[in-house]
């Protein structure tokens, strides 16, 4: 299991300009995995300069050539999937099965956008007045800053890098400080297949805010693609506004999971376990608020508590464990605080609720008698906690599900016709009907309200990195 521990700028691995490094830890036991280069603001600006210098050449590279490089990345990541997953587990803490799934998902973005690279369209038509031919070209938007989180350190990087490169953009990747090794591995694969120097750059500043701010004020930068919290997203939008930089934002979520009267409870619990426990609950798509009809709540609660109780928790490197550590003790303590305060507000602790003394582990937890509008109901938990709210009529459930500033994803279980009707009333960018997982490289990923701007994946994903140019030709 190897990965570079340095910055990658203009085709070269190099230490920080001042020589500083920061530790990367295994959250399962706190052990140090590596000392990674701590980029200075000057290093970050060097990376932007390198991307700017490489842009014209990469934009002029034939789409088929770009496509074949992306396809080569897919082939390598697929062949090295087990190594890739082990690296993700080591620094993120997630269970190996989750990491293996992420490794495959991350690779798929290279395959999907390898195919999209050769299908960038445009338009050609006669003007209504007949005086000119209207030609519309789609061209790369330019140097792009990509900022990714720790919860899916591989997939969130490839979901941005792949469409940017397919479109002809050059990029600077700034991964989360907790998980730089995975990002470095992805960049190393891109370097290995022959992506030209300067097209992909990697920087890892310890003080991310000032460094990203400096990059966003570089005159060459034209695009910001960010995945992270809504709070940080708001700050970055303000910074992007100074240079009128195009923003793509995949922000926070607070996903409702609605179990309608007459739903198949066994299927609903199976779906809930996937929607809640994928990545240990540390996912913006994780089911967060469970709204269960009063006629089913006892059965649903009993079954999901039993299912959660059967989950094996322990270090992700032990492949038998189904729930690994959270990314840090701070994240563990945040989840524990939410649960403790929920109990203080009147929720009933049906299962779990006791963090371990060693490692950033938090056990599968079930809360019942949760009140709509309580803190835990309004907060993105990012942990293995199921918080159940009872409802008595469907209109009430829809109102509560929509009663949030977030609108990333929602889940509905019930008779297909009724569930589809409810899905159409939910204010979310994505709705899963009778299934617990929805993400797919071929589908547009993104939310409404304060869950973000723009879409990733699908044919829409590459459009985020393209601009339209209109050319009028005299007839």
Tell me the C-alpha distance between 190 and 184, whole Å: 10
Q: Is 456 a catalytic residue?
A: no
Q: Are 369 and 347 in contact (CB under 8 A)?
A: yes
Plot region of 279 (φ>0 → left; ψ -120 to 50 → alpha; else → beta): left
Tell me the C-alpha distance between 57 and 202, whole Å: 19
DSSP 180: H
* CB half-sphere exposure, 183, CA atoms < 13 A: 33
DSSP 3: -
Contacts of 335 (CB under 8 A, 6+ apart): 326, 355, 362, 381, 382, 383, 385
Q: Which of 116, 239, 284, 464 is catalytic?
A: 284
Q: Which of 102, 239, 250, 380 is catalytic?
A: 250
Please name which of 199, 198, 222 lies closest in space to residue 143, comparing C-alpha atoms.
222
Ordered alpha helix ranges (H), 132-179: 155-167
Q: Are 456 and 163 in contact (CB under 8 A)?
A: yes
Contacts of 415 (CB under 8 A, 6+ apart): 260, 262, 263
Q: Is 231 a catalytic residue?
A: no
Number of H helices, E strands in the chain: 15, 22
In the three-class reduction of DSSP (H, G, I as helix; E, B as strand; rest coil), residue 335 is classed as: helix
Give me the torsion for CA of 32, 33, 35, 38, rounded to 10°. Answer: -100
Contacts of 189 (CB under 8 A, 6+ apart): 73, 76, 77
Tell me the C-alpha distance between 376 and 340, whole Å: 10
Sheet arrangement for strand 466-474: 123-126, 132-140, 466-474
Q: Which residues are annotated as catalytic?
A: 250, 284
């Amino acid at each position: 299991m190897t990965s570079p521990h340095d910055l990658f700028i203009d085709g070269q691995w190099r230490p920080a300009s001042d020589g500083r490094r920061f530790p990367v830890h295994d959250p399962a036991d706190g052990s140090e995995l590596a000392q990674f280069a701590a980029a200075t603001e000057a290093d970050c600006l060097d990376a932007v300069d390198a991307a700017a210098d490489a842009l014209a050449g990469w934009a002029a590279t034939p789409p088929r050539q770009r496509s074949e490089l992306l396809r080569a990345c897919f082939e390598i990541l697929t062949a090295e999937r087990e190594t890739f997953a082990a690296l993700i587990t080591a620094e993120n803490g997630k269970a190996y099965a989750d990491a293996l799934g992420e490794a495959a998902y991350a690779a798929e973005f290279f395959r999907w956008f390898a195919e999209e690279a050769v299908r960038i369209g445009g338009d050609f038509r006669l003007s209504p007045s007949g005086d000119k031919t209207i030609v519309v070209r789609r061209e790369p938007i330019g140097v792009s800053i990509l900022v990714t989180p720790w919860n899916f350190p591989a997939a969130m990087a490839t979901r941005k890098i792949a469409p940017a490169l397919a479109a002809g953009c050059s990029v600077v990747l700034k991964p989360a400080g907790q998980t730089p090794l995975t990002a470095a591995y992805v960049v190393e694969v891109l370097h290995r297949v022959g992506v030209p120097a300067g097209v992909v750059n990697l920087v890892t500043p310890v003080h991310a805010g000032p460094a990203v701010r400096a990059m966003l004020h570089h005159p060459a930068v034209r695009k910001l693609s960010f995945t992270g919290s809504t709070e940080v997203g708001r700050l970055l939008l303000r910074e992007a506004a100074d240079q009128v930089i195009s923003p793509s934002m995949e922000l926070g979520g607070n996903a409702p999971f609605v179990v309608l009267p007459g739903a198949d409870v066994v299927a609903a619990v199976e779906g809930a376990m996937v929607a809640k426990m994928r990545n240990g609950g540390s996912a913006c798509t994780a089911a967060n608020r469970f709204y269960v009809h009063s006629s089913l709540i006892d059965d649903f609660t009993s079954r999901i508590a039993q299912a959660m109780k059967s989950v094996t928790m322990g270090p992700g490197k032990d492949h038998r464990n189904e729930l690994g550590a959270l990314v840090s003790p701070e994240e563990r303590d945040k989840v524990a605080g939410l649960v403790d305060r929920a109990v203080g507000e009147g929720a009933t602790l049906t299962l779990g609720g006791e963090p371990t003394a060693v490692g950033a582990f938090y056990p599968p937890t079930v809360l019942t008698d949760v009140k709509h509008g309580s803190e835990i109901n309004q907060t993105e938990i990012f942990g293995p906690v199921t918080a159940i709210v009872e409802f008595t009529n469907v209109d009430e459930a829809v109102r509560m599900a929509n009663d949030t500033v977030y609108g990333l994803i929602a889940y509905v279980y019930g008779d297909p016709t009724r569930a589809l009707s409810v899905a159409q009333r939910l204010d979310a960018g994505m709705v899963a009907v009778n299934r617990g997982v929805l993400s797919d490289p071929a589908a547009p990923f993104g939310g409404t309200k304060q869950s973000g701007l723009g879409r990733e994946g699908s044919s829409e994903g590459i459009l985020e990195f393209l601009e339209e140019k209109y050319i009028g030709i005299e007839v």
